[in-house]
Amino acid sequence: MSIIWLILLPTLGIFIPLLCQSNNRNMITSLTAMLPVASFILLCTYTNQVFSGEELRFFIPWISSLGLSLSFHLDGLAYLFCLLIIGIGLLVILYARYYLSDEDNMSKFYCLLMFFMVAMLGVVLSNNLIQLWMFWELTSISSFLLISFWSHKTEARKGARMALTVTGSGGLALLGALLLIGHITGTYELNEVLDKANLIHASDLYTPTLILFLLGAFTKSAQFPFHFWLPHAMSAPTPVSAYLHSATMVKAGVFLMARFYPVMAGTEQWFIIVSLTGMITMLIGAYVALFKHDLKGLLAYSTISHLGLITLLFGLGTQLAAIAGVFHIINHAVFKASLFMAAGIIDHESGTRDMRKLNGLWKYMPYTATLAMVAALSMAGVPLLNGFLSKEMLFAETLSQDTLGALSWFIPLLSTLAGMLAVAYSLRFIHDVFFNGEPIDLPRTPHEPPRYMRVPVEILVVACILIGLFPQFIVGDLLNAASSAVLQKPLPDFSLAIWHGLNFPLLMSTIAIIGGSILYYKREVLFEFKEQFLAEDAKYVFESRIQWIVSKAVQIHKFFDNDSLQRYILCLVIFALLLVSSPLLELLDAGGDEPRLGLSWLAIFCATILFVSTILTVIWSHQRLKSILALSVVGLIVSITFAYFSAPDLALTQLSVEVVTIILFLSALFFLPQQSPVIDSPLSTVVRDFIIALLFGSVIGTICYALLTRPLDSISTFFLENSLTGGGGTNAVNVILVDFRGFDTLGEITVLGIAALGIFKLLAKIPLYLPRTDSTGRAWATDKHPVLLALISQSLLPLALLVSAFIFLRGHNMPGGGFIAGLITAVAFLQQYIAHGVDWMAQRLKINYQLLIASGLFIATCTGLGSFMFDRPFMTTWFDHFHLPWVGEFELASAMIFDLGVYLTVVGATLLILANLGKLTTSERPMEDI
Amino acid sequence: MELTYAFCVGALSTGGVFLMLRAQTFPVILGLTLLSYAVNLFLFASGRLVINSAAILNGSEHYADPLPQALVLTAIVIGFAMSAFALILAMRARADLSSDHVDGNDVENYKPGKAIKRRKETV
Amino acid sequence: MLDHLPVSLVLIPLLAGIIVLFPFIGNNTNRIRSLSLLFSSLLLISSIKLFLVVQAEGIFIYALGDWQAPYGITLYVDIFSSLLCVLTSFLLICVQIYSFAGEDTQGQYYHPLLMFQTMGIIGAFLTGDIFNLFVFFEVLLMASYALVIHGGGKKKTQANLHYVILNLAGSALFLFALGILYGTFGSLNMVDMQVKVSSLTEDQTILAKAGALLLVSVFGLKSALLPIHFWLTRTYSASPATVAAFFAIMTKVGIYSFWRVHTGIFGNDAGSLANIAQDWLTPLAWLTIIAGTIAVLASQTLRVLTANLVIVSAGSLLLMVALNTHMAATAGVYYLIHSTLACAFMFLLADLIIKQRGKAEDRFVISRPVSQSRLLSLLFFFAALCLIGMPPLSGFIGKVFILKASLDAEMAAWVWPPILISSLAAMIVLSRAGSTIFWRAKGQNSEQYQAQFSQLFAISLLGIALVSMVVFGGPLSEISSQAADNIFNMGHGIKLVEKVDA
């Protein structure tokens, strides 16, 4: 069976608790345990292969360009961790069944626990760097969910978020490190990476890689200065703490160091950073642990201290130290898990974890007490227990290293000190809780827990003793396999024995034990000493840091983005100005060498008017009626300009658009304030704006001049040559519009149609009131629709329609076309509106403008689709000349149908807009009250 | 001639941009309209200036460049649609926010002191 | 019919929009809904078909009106553009289905406008003609203007005013740029321009450069490039949920255009105009991510937060454009798809949360619990993982892609800090948001609003897509790298019609 099943089975196990939503707790528990048990058995079947130094692999490619693949391997180290993860995991599942109360959602808990187990297994089994990181992050996520399991408790939420933030940011650093490693070695497969130690050590990216790498490892393993999150993760249910914070998650960091030991370790930087961090963490953890009144708090800090110990061992740089590190991983997992469970039992049965209340529990739960004491003694490193052995090895190694050169003797000294502290807090755990007088007002009277709640503790404690007594027999092979996987080379010979004869390490242990006892005996002194420093709660420190960041962010954000459109536009204009003007600096001469056109008086005249009326538009922009007049003059001149420079179509279009626009402006003006402040912003701003505008204008002008005075070799000769032969029209512009680039026109009329719809939406239920009077306070004329106007406009209507028909038909060959015709028609109808009012028109003219738009667009599109029938691309036009008696020669072109579509859309859109705007002035609209 | 033309385009865009930087909706829309005139003239100019040779085939051998004209036509139409929408939107804003200030906040009558205070707040 | 596939991608939404506009069809809500759903599924199918065709037979050039490039307008279809069409039409379907829960009837013309916007977006993706690109920009903008105010309300009007005016200015700039480009190239067809760009005279080169750079401001405005990204947050957070979700693709149009114009035309083999935009893009995109991150930290509501995350993702994408390497483009394409789907997902989810939270809406304050706490918190968790870029969801692949690309481009020192910091910020803010909205709830829920089937269905469609981006990460990354090929050799091996001499 492939090793993938090691992780696949628990993955399936995630869903089992969700599926069985029954209230039978035993059933949920046993069903959940089933698959992990299976994968545990599977693991055992690999034992011989692994112990014989074999490495089993499983590989499927996934995202090759990323170096990401589904690739797992099982070697000694992975095996060891799988053993811890699944084994202790099963014990925790059993334990949790009794720990969780009825209101806790058990299936959710188990689901998350399995999720975490899978993530953890993924980390230790991964043979691909990026996949490893993937599972690494999954452990952060799942632990976030587990810590916040009691999400109604604020400390649970805060602790969870703190853990997530710290480990998560570490994870990001780790990702960087792994990518760098992959970049250096050119492979993301772990087993290949591990062979390339020299490559990595030689690379100049080594130092950044190492720093990022250690950031990842230290945050996860709660090393100083990132250790503060771990105690707050204790707000999780105790089974979670027993699992995550003793055996598995916090071990992920040290696992990482062990895993990459061959390629990352072995350099000066590694030894300095890792050993010092480990040492500091070990001391701080042990020191703080001594003063914790909370049972779990004490254990948490002791965990930190022991993790520091392991880190130190990996930092010492001798091979035996690394082996000792691996050994202590095992031992710590075993005794710390049992201790957490014992603490959980005490909490569960007595209702508090405060050691100032918990006293003399020996009477009430002697059995549990014994178990807890054995485990605690092992934590203290007392002989005949497993804790002693690895601590002994530590002492031995601290003596045989020279990490700090001449100052290396610090290390054994400080280690002994840490040992003393460890003994002290272990004694405190034992004495305060189980002896030391009577319990003080406990919520409930403590008693022994249910039979099976003790089983996990028993198993673990037995393990402590057995390993302590027969190390070589119990864990010898396992340790060999794991250590050789760590070192990736044949091991030096070492002996796991209780008795190495009288030597320094033994002396150090003795000192530690005796000194520790004295420390505990004299603890009052220490406590008083500690009282001098007020401890601040990391939770609130962290929270306030976050708050600070957020508030700063808000400040900065507000400063840049003040919700002012003027600023936005200013940014846009300046940005565009910079972009467009930067190349112009290279342009030697604005004017090119094309022959210029002669300047005519008409041109000068027009230019002057244009200039003046532009200025007037600006100046009068606060007196709106005037400014609109000035604007219309500008429009007029523009259309004249088009006409002058041989663009009759443009001239016509501009003119007709002008008319409609002005009507639009006038009717909108009716609802906008007539006057607006002469100066809308401080003078400095106005000046600044003007300067920027001037710059922009001059740059645009310059470019325009530069273009005009340079030759252009364009594709348009093609249009002139083919417009008659290919497009069937002599008016090249119109042929381009309906044929060569008909697709543009289709889009253009669509825009017009959409605009009409949008405006309709805008005017729907608009809360506007009719102004009673004009700006000067005079009431509006009562005679809304003068008879004379009505008469004239009515008689004009057919004429206008005739004109538009004419313009439409000649479009293909002479200036004109659907668009202009459409506008003329629209204006003609508009005039009727003006003359007779909306109500009058509504009765007579029963056109649905929406329908008009739709059918216009429809016709235009279908004309284009027609060409599909002849198996030609969209909008391929067809035209032919016919001869009828009396009528004479005439032409039919599909383009004309398309133009009809344009015509209809324009009429529909324009009238939809203006008629609805006009509706606002109908009688039923409420008048504004004065 | 080219110089005059370019000058006009420049003037139009200056006016347009300046008005777009105003605080009331109406001037801004005026500005957009001015700017669109400038744009159309500019786009038209990209085909160079020619006199009395409209792109209507009549056997003469020299014509104005029809393509920019077609482009400008499209631009005019789209510009019309856009400014119409913007104008009505301005009305709507005036109705909904009871102010014709582009940011909706009611500072219709500008007073120096007030503005300076406002600027202090933002800083 | 297969020969007309490219244009039909534009025509299907257009026709759909027109048909439901006809009063005698559009007078019945259910008819409108079923028709538009029919058309959008047709659109999805045909865009997938087109994608497959292109993947099989290579680049597909469709000459409208049978006028060959450079004279007529041509649609230029390669794997890249057709891929984005598939994305767009898929997003359209999700948004539509979600809107069936009632948003589409809160105002008029919802479905036609949505269809027209789709037409604009797809047209912009497909067209090979730069002026036609402008036209389609206007189509999609005009539709979006109308959609932002759908449902009405002060906030929408206010946001829309800014949005519209800014984009009108943008359109003006676009036309200036086009004028310059036509005035120098004398052509509008992108492939043709790409051919001509190296043979311009010295003066023309300078002017063309001005035009090309001016386009940076235009596309930058669309794709939320600092310093012209301000409009985005407000507009997106004020718009109706489905519209905001659909807008997730709109910033991508700007980014697409960058790739087409500034990597395609003014790219590596543009002689003296090679990679002119990149010098501007690199620092600005970098700053965009920073600004976005700050805004993310400052966000006080879920919608604003999501909008700011859109800015961050836009910044990352622009950075990938600026890196100008094949790997970066691959990363960009993959990340583009991911961020579009993820942001859409979050916008829709935010709407559900708002509907169930009563007065508190989506503000990060203590309030009554949402009525479907378990369901929504699960969905939120999913979306958060996507947006932060945490495994096992597509976000992390996108992020790793970006980091790796910048590492290969020797830009890691520059690119990594903003990317990593931004995801850290997202993690901090989203975890706070989640625990405030779902865990710090007080009292009993008053809103009895239950998520409707169509809403959940739409959201789960997006969710499935995001998951399958991971499961099929291999093939998808393959496709992305093919798309990257297309980006870098636009128009290579394409023979345009020889110029006919006068």
Which residues lie closer than 8 Å to C396 by C-beta, 6 or more apart?
Answer: A134, A137, C389, C390
- Cα A214 from Cα A454, distance rounded (Å): 38
Q: Residue C314 has what pLDDT?
A: 94
> Model confidence at C319, in pLDDT bands (50, 70, 90)?
very high
Most confident of A40-49, C151-160, C353-362: A40-49
**Average pLDDT estimate for A134-155:** 91
3-state helix, strand, coil in chain A (%, to 5): 70, 5, 25
Question: What tens digit of pLDDT does each residue of A246-287 get?
Answer: 888 889 999 999 999 999 888 888 988 998 999 999 999 998
B6 → closest Cβ in A705, A737, A762:
A705
Q: Summarize pLDDT for A288-339 with one digit per residue, the tens.
A: 888 888 888 899 999 999 999 999 999 887 888 889 999 999 999 999 999 9
Minimum Cα–Cα distance from C153: chain B residue: B96
Query: Closest partner residue to C178 among B25, B43, B85, by Cβ?
Result: B43
- CA nearest to A704, candidates A648, A641, A635, A643: A641
Chains touching chain A through at least 3 C-beta pairs below 8 angstroms are: B, C
Chains in contact with B, counting 3 or more C-beta pairs less than 8 Å apart as contact: A, C
CA-wise closest residue to A902 among A860, A866, A865: A860
Amino acid at position C490, single letter: M
Using one digit for the tens of pLDDT, what is the confidence trace for B4-35?
Answer: 889 999 999 999 999 998 888 888 988 999 99
Average pLDDT for residues C399-427, to the nearest whole number? 91
Q: Which of B40, B68, B82 sits opposite C182 (nearest CB)?
A: B68
Structural Rg of chain B based on CA atoms? 20
State residue A790's pLDDT score: 73
Structure tokens at A498: 């209780």
Compute the CA torsion angle A228, A232, A236, A239 (nearest 10 deg).
50
∠ Cα C15 C16 C22 (to 5°) = 90
Shortest CA gap C105–chain A (Å) = 12
Q: Do A568 and C407 touch (CB under 8 A)?
A: no
Distance CA C205, CA C271 (A): 10
Mean pLDDT of chain A: 85
Provide the angle, in degrees to the nearest 10, between the axes of the packed helices C326-357 and C373-388. 160
Please, are residues A346 and A446 in contact by the beta-carbon 8 Å criterion? yes
d(CA A740, CA A171): 58
CA angle A20, A24, A28 (to 5 degrees): 45
Q: Is C443 left (phi over 0), alpha (psi -120 to 50) or beta?
A: left
Question: What is the percentage of chain B residues whose pLDDT exceeds 90?
Answer: 31
The CA radius of gyration of chain C, in Å to the nearest whole number, is 22
Whether the bond into A786 is cis, omega within 30 of 0: no
CA atoms within 13 A on the CB side of A631: 32
CA distances from A591 to A703, A824, C349 (A): 9, 41, 58
Asked if residue C251 lies in contact with residue C138, where contact means CB atoms within 8 angstroms, the answer is no
**C439 to chain A: which residues are within 8 Å by CB?**
148, 151-152, 157
- The answer to whether the Cβ–Cβ distance between B78 and C171 falls below 8 Å is yes
Closest chain A residue to the Cα of B63, Cα to Cα: A720
Q: Which amino acid is at C363?
A: R
Q: Which residue's entry shows tokens 């359209």?
A: C92
Nearest Cα of chain B lies from the Cα of A208 at a distance, in angstroms, of 39
Strands A879-884 and C60-63 come out as unpaired
How confident is the model over C216-275, as pLDDT tens digits? 999 999 999 988 888 899 899 899 999 999 999 998 999 999 999 999 888 888 888 888
Looking at beta carbons, which residues of chain C come within 8 Å of A66? 397, 400-401, 404, 473, 477
pLDDT in tens, B77-92: 999 999 899 988 888 8
Q: In chain B, helix, strand, coil percent, each to 5?
A: 65, 0, 30
Helices A471-487 and A319-350 cross at an angle (nearest 10°) of 120
Give the range with max mean pLDDT: A107-121, C185-199, C443-457. A107-121
Q: Which two tokens stand for residue A765?
A: 């239920």
Q: How many CB atoms lie within 10 A of CB B122?
A: 13
Closest-CA distance, A755 to chain B, in angstroms, reads 6
pLDDT tens digits for range A430-469: 888 888 888 887 788 888 888 888 899 999 999 999 988 8
Whether the CB of A553 is below 8 Å from some CB of chain C: the reply is yes
Q: What pLDDT, on the 0 to 100 scale, is given for residue A131?
A: 93
> Nearest CA to C289 among C326, C319, C260, C328?
C319
Residues for chain C: how many in total?
502
Chain B positions touching C179 (Cβ under 8 A) are 39, 42-43, 45-46, 68
Binary contact (B103, A563; C-beta < 8 A): yes
Instruction: Read off the pLDDT of residues C264-318 as tens digits, 9 standing for 90 and up.
Output: 888 888 888 888 888 899 999 999 999 999 999 999 899 999 999 999 999 999 9
- pLDDT category of residue B119 using cuts at 50, 70 and 90: very low
Percent of chain A past pLDDT 70, that is, above it, reads 94
**Higher pLDDT, residue B98 or A864:** A864
**Residue A64 backbone zone (phi > 0: left; psi -120 to 50: alpha; other: beta):** alpha
Closest of A141, A133, A80, A142 to residue A112, by C-alpha: A142
Residue C176 and residue B20: Cβ atoms within 8 Å?
no
Q: What is the pLDDT of residue A596?
A: 80
Whether pLDDT at A512 is above 70: yes
User: A849-869 vs A894-919: helix axis angle to the nearest 10?
Assistant: 160
Phi, psi (5° rounding) for residue C444? -90, 150
Phi-psi region of C186 (alpha: psi -120 to 50; beta: other; left: phi over 0): left
What's residue A768's pLDDT? 67
How many pairs of residues across B and C have Cβ atoms under 8 Å apart? 88
Contact B96 C183 (CB under 8 A): no
Strand locations in A155-219 (E): none
Residue C75: strand, helix, or coil: strand
Q: How far apart are CA C144 and CA C164, in angstroms?
A: 9
Q: What is the pLDDT of residues A383-404, one digit of tens each?
A: 888 888 888 888 888 888 777 7
Mean pLDDT of A547-560: 88
pLDDT given at position A927 = 53
**B15 → closest Cβ in A617, A705, A741:** A617
- What's the length of chain B? 123
Q: Tell me the C-alpha distance between B50 and B60, whole Å.
A: 14
A764-786 tens-digit pLDDT: 877 766 665 555 556 655 556 66
- Residue-wise DSSP of C416-469: HHHHHHHHHHHHHHHHHHHIIIIIS--S---------HHHHHHHHHHHHHHHHH
Instruction: Report chain A residues whose CB lies below 8 A from the CB of C21.
Output: 757, 850, 853-854, 857
Between A and B, how many CB-CB pairs are < 8 A? Answer: 325
Give the pLDDT score at A676: 63
Judge whether residue C204 has pLDDT over 60.
yes
Structure tokens at A730: 């002599």
pLDDT at A692 exceeding the cut of 80: yes
pLDDT band, residue C456 (cuts 50/70/90): very high
Alpha carbons B77 and A382: distance in angstroms, whole number: 91
Report the predicted TM-score, pTM, of the whole model to 2 decimal places. Answer: 0.92
Type and span of the H or E element at A921: none
Within 32-61 of B, beta carbons closer than 8 Å to A belong to 33-34, 37-38, 40-42, 44-58
Indicate yes or no: CB of B39 within 8 angstroms of CB of C172.
yes
Cα–Cα nearest to C179, from A590, B71, A702: B71
Min Cα–Cα distance to chain B from C218, Å:
14
**Contacting residues for A7 by C-beta, under 8 A, at least 6 apart:** A39, A72, A118, A121, A122, A125
Tokens of C394: 């597509």
DSSP A672: S
Is residue C226 classed as helix, strand or coil in its secondary structure?
Answer: coil
**Chain C nearest CA to B4, separation (Å):** 18
Which of A:340-359 have CB within 8 Å of C?
Answer: none
What's the confidence (pLDDT) of residue A544?
86
